[in-house]
Homo-oligomer: A and B are copies of this chain.
Amino acid sequence: MATLEDLGVSAFINIVGAFAFLILFAVLRIQPINDRVYFPKWYITGGRNSPRVRGRGVGKFVNLNLRTYFTFLNWMPGALRMSESEIIQHAGLDSAVYLRIYILGLKIFVPMTVLALLVLIPVNVSGGTLLNLNKKIMYSDIDKLSISNVNAGSQRFFIHLLMAYLFTLWTCYILYKEYDNVAFMRLHFLASQNRRVDQFTVVVRNVPHVSGHSISESVEQFFHRNHPDHYLGHQAVYNANKFAKLVRQKERLQNWLDYNQLKFERHPEKRPTTKRGFLGLCGERVDAINYYRERISELDEKIAYERQRILKDPKAIMQVAFVTFDSRWGAAVCAQTQQSKNPTKWLTEWAPEPRDVYWENLPIPFVSLSIRRLIISIAVFALVFFYMIPIAFVQSLANLEGLEKVAPFLRPVIEIKVIKSFLQGFLPGLALKVFLYILPTVLMIMSKVEGYLSLSSLERKAAAKYYYFMLVNVFLGSIITGTAFEQLYSFIHQPPTQIPITIGVSIPMKATFFMTYIMVDGWAGIASEILRLKPLVIYHLKNMFIVKTERDREKAMDPGSIDLPENLPSLQLYFLLGLVYAVVTPVLLPFILVFFAFAFLVYRHQIINVYNQEYESAGAFWPHVHGRIIASLLIAQLLLLGLLSTKKAANSTPLLIILPILTIWFHKYCKSRFEPAFRKYPLEEAMEKDILEKASEPNLNLKAYLADAYLHPIFHSFDDDEEEEKIEVRVDKGRSHIPSPTRSEISSESPPHYHCPNKNCIGSSKGRAKLQKKTVKSQCTRLSSPVEHQQPHHAYFRNPE
């Protein structure tokens, strides 16, 4: 148990650290050369083309205006200046809702802190021995301020109990209001925003194979039959994984080519060379520029062939399709209903945004999915509880003897004494760090294996897994000694009533540890986030070696995005700490308040100036945030119950049992009240929007609008060298209410199966990809028209007479 002075020293160090980061940030961010690192968002939105502060000569790279150095904290009011609706406009609803989590933290904990400090601290301080109530106690021990200071069996515990009730009610009230608010924001956002392709699109998985029919034909037939009035068309999904690999390879080679060309330009006297062999390390030495050009043109041919193959081969079409409807209503209906008699076939769900789709997971069949989830849940359980085992294993390998065996040539170096002792201290820690560093990646891979379709859901699932890890290994692991596995073992061999007691009793003793944790991870950690050290270094490296044109420079920018899989769990941990310690050791609360306020500012700044959102899920993660805070409340209540039961405050325990029951009920109520807004799309809303749109744009050509929306992105990137053609298509779509020329243009991009049930339409045409595209285009346009004209007839048939 540390004294207040120890804590003060720790706080001082961390505050100094945080300030050092902030000053460094303030200096770096006003250098024109770093403008693309610290303000990439403005470049992406088109708000900026070049650094604001412009000079000549050296001034191009270094800021020489001394005045700007003195206003180094002016980003803080700057971060607050933008209103919430502007942020939604600027960075999307996800970002705005993410920031609301910090506001939620402040809303919950500010009144709690005031109340706890005013009521509980005096009660706790005076609780021990009233006679000793002198100034000295205040400075001698943190523990004197906590519930531990109250004598066992004291009537004062009723005040703590009352506080527990008040805090629970307040938290629930704020949670309810916030959920309501976010749900409203989501619906409003979905309603007020412009037409989006995902509003009209449903993804259907597990399309069954029917012999004699292609997947596209089956889809066409099925939806024509079962949604005759609203079905518009569908987009087949191609297995383009190999294709994507080739394209990635080409990009890598292109980078090397650029690097060598730049080198040659700078030193025209010497043509750069490379070796043919593995990683350019061995083999014959050749001219680098020619070599890479050659390899790229080889790859181009392969890519063209692969593209050809994908389009030709019916096996390349996967058992999944994006089905589009002529109205939001039709899509909402299809997404929410069961289609087939066999509930494992024709599974429909809302299509994610095109940029949110995780293409690799689309073709996973149903049985495989359920097996994958079983395996991953076992793996996550093992990871959470046994994570020390592989680390210990790696650590035992990573000792010096092991290293010498693996790499005998290092022996002379290792045997030097200074290096040896450094390594011996350093290697095990490194193993742990490496493991913790790769953990989010591992969790992300696990989520990918589980087979979710969208990046947003992958991130949410990874965040959920990370939360369990933090809960067990950071929260419980810090409170109870021993590895998570030892805890697990002791838990299943203890009566369930004993667990909250065991943990509850240790809780007040760990308050100082968590205060230090908040300062290191929360304060200094957040300050380092704003500095963006890693993107800064990478950007300058790229700038030095690869960048030739402004467009390359744009590519070298790495704005990043809110790292939900890591940030959500750590935020949730702060909520947990706050709720657990609110009654027990209220002096911890101000630390959390500082964290929430500071992190709010930093992330607001980053969202405005740096991050570029990858997708828009319209705040789909809120139910998770809400659920975890409820879980934190429950944990806090159970631990308080355990703690009080050791304090001989037995009268109070029955009163405390009511709290978790009410909390669970509250959660259930909120779930049924608000969660549908995040999972489903109400028909009322859909219809309203449809009617509005029909009134304002009666001649809208939806088919053209939706045509290539869900084409695999790799096919788009392939068209990079046909840029002009593409721009032409885009322009055409802009004036898409003129139907005839647009459709023919569009279908040149869509795969040939699009409206064309005629198999020969692909099989008969030969030649290179470009040629084929032209051929298919004309055929499809011709073939698609009868289908279209059938639709009104079908619709008519279904009308009530």
Interface of A toward B, CB cutoff 8 Å = 187, 222, 225-227, 229-230, 232, 326-327, 329, 332-333, 336-341, 343-344, 346, 366-367, 370, 374, 378, 492-498, 661, 665, 668-669, 672-677, 680-685, 687, 698, 791-792, 795-796, 798-801
Residues of B within 8 A of A674 (CB): 343
Give Cα A672 to B222, complex, Å.
Answer: 22
The residue on B at minimum CB distance from A378 is B661
Contact A683-B495, Cβ < 8 Å, known A326-B800, A370-B669, A792-B799? no
Residues of B within 8 A of A496 (CB): 492, 495-496
Residues of B within 8 A of A796 (CB): 799
Residues of B within 8 A of A337 (CB): 332-333, 336-337, 680, 682-683
The residue on B at minimum CB distance from A670 is B370
18 new A-B contacts, CB < 8 A, other than A343-B674, A493-B498, are: A222-B684, A229-B799, A230-B800, A337-B680, A338-B682, A339-B684, A340-B682, A341-B684, A343-B673, A343-B675, A343-B680, A343-B682, A344-B672, A370-B668, A370-B672, A378-B661, A493-B497, A795-B795
Enumerate 7 A-B pairs (CB-CB under 8 Å) in ascending A order: A340-B684, A344-B672, A370-B669, A370-B672, A374-B665, A492-B495, A792-B800
Contact of A343 among B677, B792, B795 (CB under 8 A): B677
CB distance from A658 to the nearest CB of B (A): 10
Residues of B within 8 A of A677 (CB): 341, 343
Most buried by B among A343, A496, A682, A683: A683
Residues of B within 8 A of A497 (CB): 492-493
Residues of B within 8 A of A226 (CB): 329, 683-684, 687
Contact A229-B680, Cβ < 8 Å, known A337-B332, A337-B337? no
CB distance from A147 to the nearest CB of B (A): 24
Contact of A800 among B672, B685, B795 (CB under 8 A): B795
Contact A336-B339, Cβ < 8 Å, known A665-B370, A796-B799? no
Give Cα A801 to B789, complex, Å.
Answer: 9
Q: Is the CB of A673 within 8 A of B344?
A: yes
Q: Is the CB of A339 within 8 A of B682?
A: yes
Give Cα A371 to B677, complex, Å.
Answer: 21
Contact of A339 among B225, B340, B683 (CB under 8 A): B683
Q: Is the CB of B493 within 8 A of A672?
A: no
Contact A687-B338, Cβ < 8 Å, known A370-B665, A370-B668, A374-B665? no
Residues of B within 8 A of A346 (CB): 684
CB distance from A645 to the nearest CB of B (A): 12
Q: Is the CB of B800 within 8 A of A681?
A: no
Give Cα A675 to B230, complex, Å.
Answer: 28
The residue on B at minimum CB distance from A367 is B669
Residues of B within 8 A of A795 (CB): 795, 799-800
Residues of B within 8 A of A229 (CB): 229, 798-800
Give Cα A347 to B796, complex, Å.
Answer: 30
Q: Is the CB of A338 within 8 A of B683?
A: yes
Most buried by B among A341, A668, A669: A341
Residues of B within 8 A of A374 (CB): 661, 665, 668
Residues of B within 8 A of A801 (CB): 698, 792
Contact A232-B340, Cβ < 8 Å, known A374-B665, A495-B493? no
Give Cα A187 to B343, complex, Å.
Answer: 12
The residue on B at minimum CB distance from A329 is B226
Most buried by B among A378, A800, A801: A800
Residues of B within 8 A of A344 (CB): 672-673
Residues of B within 8 A of A498 (CB): 493, 495
CB distance from A202 to the nearest CB of B (A): 12
Most buried by B among A682, A685, A698, A801: A682
Give Cα A754 to B425, complex, Å.
Answer: 84
Residues of B within 8 A of A370 (CB): 665, 668-669, 672
Residues of B within 8 A of A225 (CB): 684, 687
Residues of B within 8 A of A230 (CB): 800
CB distance from A368 to the nearest CB of B (A): 11
Contact A494-B493, Cβ < 8 Å, known A341-B685, A343-B672, A343-B673? no
Residues of B within 8 A of A232 (CB): 800
CB distance from A328 to the nearest CB of B (A): 12
CB distance from A327 to the nearest CB of B (A): 8
Most buried by B among A337, A340, A492, A677: A337
The residue on B at minimum CB distance from A227 is B683
Residues of B within 8 A of A492 (CB): 495-497
CB distance from A789 to the nearest CB of B (A): 11
CB distance from A324 to the nearest CB of B (A): 12
Give Cα A327 to B680, complex, Å.
Answer: 23
Give Cα A676 to B338, complex, Å.
Answer: 8
The residue on B at minimum CB distance from A344 is B673
Give Cα A338 to B678, complex, Å.
Answer: 12
Residues of B within 8 A of A343 (CB): 672-677, 680, 682
The residue on B at minimum CB distance from A673 is B344
Q: Is the CB of B336 within 8 A of A338?
A: yes
Give Cα A366 to B367, complex, Å.
Answer: 37
Q: Which 10 A-B pairs have the closest CB atoms?
A: A343-B676, A338-B680, A336-B337, A326-B800, A795-B799, A374-B665, A493-B495, A338-B682, A226-B687, A333-B333
Residues of B within 8 A of A683 (CB): 226-227, 337-339
CB distance from A433 to the nearest CB of B (A): 33
Give Cα A680 to B341, complex, Å.
Answer: 10
Residues of B within 8 A of A326 (CB): 800
The residue on B at minimum CB distance from A675 is B343
The residue on B at minimum CB distance from A674 is B343
Residues of B within 8 A of A227 (CB): 683
Give Cα A677 to B339, complex, Å.
Answer: 11
Residues of B within 8 A of A668 (CB): 370, 374
Residues of B within 8 A of A676 (CB): 338, 343
CB distance from A345 to the nearest CB of B (A): 9
CB distance from A226 to the nearest CB of B (A): 5
Contact of A341 among B327, B340, B682 (CB under 8 A): B682
CB distance from A195 to the nearest CB of B (A): 16
Q: Is the CB of A338 within 8 A of B665?
A: no
Contact A681-B338, Cβ < 8 Å, known A343-B674, A673-B344, A795-B799? yes
CB distance from A281 to the nearest CB of B (A): 48
Residues of B within 8 A of A333 (CB): 333, 337
CB distance from A622 to the nearest CB of B (A): 14
Give Cα A800 to B339, complex, Å.
Answer: 22
Give Cα A378 to B792, complex, Å.
Answer: 56
Residues of B within 8 A of A329 (CB): 226
Give Cα A687 to B228, complex, Å.
Answer: 10
CB distance from A339 to the nearest CB of B (A): 5
